[in-house]
Amino acid sequence: MISLGRSRHRDDAGQVSLLIVGFVAILVLLIGVVVDASAAFLQRAGLNSLADAAALAATDGLQGDQVYLHGLGERAKIDPRRAAAYAGEYLAASGARETYPGIRSVVSVTNDTVNVHLSASLRLPIPIPGVGSRAQITADAASVVLITP
């Protein structure tokens, strides 16, 4: 059989390499997301524990003050400044400022409850392009002051 024209075969060499590079890029991106999400989760868990402990330290100190200075009554009177001081003392004694540089705390009081809000910046271990290299992590806790005769 005689061929009249030149046979045209398409050369696919190099196409697989392009797919492999694309898959590797997606894999690296997914690994970055998982590592960053894990770091944020762990910091949030640590801040939650710290906020819980600070709220408990504040109510424990307030309960002791209330009972020993003013006797037992129906309801504890909470001084917001003293609650903030007790929570701040706990945070300082626990080394929170060294563990979470730039940590910010807000202590508020409503009726018989002490609320502690903590926030700290996290430097992401694997920065993802377009997302940024830092994340703000927050935690909240509350503790109730109960005085029972």
pLDDT digits 0-9 by tens, 102-141 = 999 999 998 888 999 999 999 999 888 787 889 999 999 9
Q: What are residue 106's DSSP bridge partners?
A: 117
Band of the pLDDT at 5, cuts 50, 70, 90? low
- Average confidence score pLDDT of the chain: 84
For 6-60, write each residue's pLDDT tens digit: 556 666 666 788 889 999 999 998 999 999 999 999 999 999 999 999 999 988 8
- Return d(Cα 100, Cα 43) in angstroms, integer: 9
- Return d(Cα 118, Cα 138) in angstroms, integer: 6
